[in-house]
Amino acid sequence: MVKTTKGIAIPLNRVEGDLEIRVEVDNGSVVEAWSTGTMFRGFEMMMRGRGALDGLVVTPRICGICSITHLTAAVEALDAIAGAVPPDNARRLRNLALMTENMQSDVRQAILMFMVDFANQEAYREHPLGEEALKRYAPLEGRAAVEVIRETKRLVQVVGIIGGQWPHTSFMVPGGVTSMPEISKILQCRIITERFRSWYERSILGCPLERWHEVQSLSDLAIWLDEKKSHRESEVGFFIRFSKIAGLSSLGKGHNRFLSYGSFPLPENTAVRGHGGRLVRSGWADGTQVFEFDPSKITEDISHAWFEQGSEPRHPFESETKPYASGQSGRQYSWVKAPRYDGEAAETGPLAEMVIGGNPFFQEMVAQDGANIFARELARLVRPAYMLPYMKIWLDELLVERNSNFYNPVKRIPDGEGAGLIQAARGALGHWVKIEDERITHYQVITPTSWNGSPRDGRGVRGAWEEALIGTPVKDINNPVEAGHVIRSFDPCLVCAVHCLHKRI
């Protein structure tokens, strides 16, 4: 995702300017932080007045790395308004495409956008594993970087087959999907997935998925790491060893509150089991204490964002997007609105899914150290290990059900409102839509990066990664790699750099 915000905009990322972080450093560590989304794109404003189905074409363009994600949220909102129930095959095809996109994103983000900083020689020349990191992650040259570019472009062929192209297809429509791949193509998806799985096991994990699934605690992890050379040499093994020396599990704690909307609605007849009709569970967690998720508790606060002031925090069905570029002088400092759940700031992403979904290993990590860079990034790196088995099940079910329905006709989108709330690669994504006379009258998007990269709210409470930056050591003010790790552990859309450091001694 890239930017969004409210407005449409999409907040963050890329270094040259879509995200800027300002911090105050005292005694070598961060004491204050402000996160600024520097680009406003106005997607929500451009949606008003468009055709009822146009969200399926326009919103995927919010983000080039997770366009299927926006398509999924957009179509679920329209399904809700139309009261449409997609057939099982449509559920399978939608889930397969979204899962594929999430996996390519997880692997690309971890290796190309997070671990690539381990190869930052200006920062890690002295790190005992710095030289090895360079061999693995140097841009366009490192062994792992080269492999990831090769394997992920092959993986997204699954979306190419199901949806016609990646990125930016619109094959999901209210009531289902636009076509059913031929048997040979479904088999090809299975082969692509199996090939990705073998590479993922060999290079990322260093062991079969099943062996990784046995890691249920921190002591299991220690045993796993010692067990074999292939475990230590894998990307997960290397990440663990490098992080330990760099002390990443003690950095980037944040609010330690988590949010997941849940994801992957299950077909009625499937071997896959989930929670409340979805594979990935929804919930809200304070530390490791998990509560039921209630979508009515979501609000957007604009007190510190560049929008016309005056309104109290509102639910996204009621909120507005009126940009007002007032510059750096007042209290407004970002194009990102501040989403809150029951008035609280929270982080979202793979770690939130693990904690809320009840993964004992990640729950133990959070119970012990709170959220941190190490736990967040490890959750992302190993999430495909928990998803790949479902890919196989749904593809096998599709082979059996090839001739069953994939679309229940929806002739007209009636007047009404609906929301599509899902888990994107980066966490909780919501589209809130109102339709009148087959036209869009209201469209609000809250991306995961809005949650994670939120500015302060009306109470002055920092956003998730602003909070996580507090206490982060800054060894070199011109190359603040530690602060970069904190931000990147949240996986801001694409990359981001921390610059504009303001020093106050």
Tell me how far, at minimum, the Cβ of 388 lies from other proteins, in Å.
Answer: 19
Tell me how far, at minimum, the Cβ of 383 lies from other proteins, in Å.
Answer: 19
N residues, the chain: 505
**310/409 with CB nearer other proteins:** 409
Please choose, from the candidates 324, 283, 279, the residue with its C-alpha nearest in 3D space to the C-alpha of residue 304.
324
User: Could you tell me if 116 and 143 are in contact, meaning their C-beta atoms sit under 8 angstroms apart?
Assistant: no
**80/138 with CB nearer other proteins:** 138
Q: How far apart are CA 156 and CA 66, in angstroms?
A: 12
Q: How far apart are CA 269 and CA 241, in angstroms?
A: 43
User: Could you tell me if 126 and 118 are in contact, meaning their C-beta atoms sit under 8 angstroms apart?
Assistant: no
Tell me how far, at minimum, the Cβ of 191 lies from other proteins, in Å.
Answer: 12
**67/372 with CB nearer other proteins:** 67
Return the sign of the alpha-carbon dihedral for residues 486, 488, 490, 492.
positive
Q: Extract the tokens encoding 106.
A: 């997880």
Tell me how far, at minimum, the Cβ of 414 lies from other proteins, in Å.
Answer: 16
Asked whether the bond before 295 is cis by omega within 30 degrees of 0, the reply is no
Tell me how far, at minimum, the Cβ of 122 lies from other proteins, in Å.
Answer: 5
**62/207 with CB nearer other proteins:** 62
Encode 211-265 in three state secondary structure: HHHCCCCHHHHHHHHHHCHHHHHCHHHHHHHHHHHHCHHHCCCCCCEEEEEEEEE
Residue 303 is which amino acid? S
User: Could you tell me if 369 and 250 are in contact, meaning their C-beta atoms sit under 8 angstroms apart?
Assistant: yes
Tell me how far, at minimum, the Cβ of 237 lies from other proteins, in Å.
Answer: 21
- First vs last C-alpha separation in the chain: 36
Tell me how far, at minimum, the Cβ of 413 lies from other proteins, in Å.
Answer: 11
Tell me how far, at minimum, the Cβ of 19 lies from other proteins, in Å.
Answer: 10
DSSP string, 283-295: EEEETTEEE---G
Residue for token pair 């570019």: 149
**129/146 with CB nearer other proteins:** 146
Tell me how far, at minimum, the Cβ of 5 lies from other proteins, in Å.
Answer: 12
Q: How far apart are CA 370 and CA 468, in angstroms?
A: 11
Tell me how far, at minimum, the Cβ of 69 lies from other proteins, in Å.
Answer: 12
Tell me how far, at minimum, the Cβ of 247 lies from other proteins, in Å.
Answer: 20
User: Could you tell me if 78 and 52 are in contact, meaning their C-beta atoms sit under 8 angstroms apart?
Assistant: yes
**214/438 with CB nearer other proteins:** 438
Name residues whose C-beta falls within 8 Å of residue 91's C-beta, 6 or more positions apart in sequence.
265, 266, 267
**149/223 with CB nearer other proteins:** 149
The 10 Å Cβ neighbour count of residue 312 is 9
**159/302 with CB nearer other proteins:** 159
Query: Which strand (E) or helix (H) includes residue 445?
Result: strand 439-446
Q: How far apart are CA 451 and CA 443, in angstroms?
A: 18
**75/207 with CB nearer other proteins:** 75
Sheet holding 502-503, edge to edge: 29-37, 19-26, 502-503
**167/458 with CB nearer other proteins:** 167
**38/489 with CB nearer other proteins:** 38
Please choose, from the candidates 352, 322, 351, 356, the residue with its C-alpha nearest in 3D space to the C-alpha of residue 337.
322
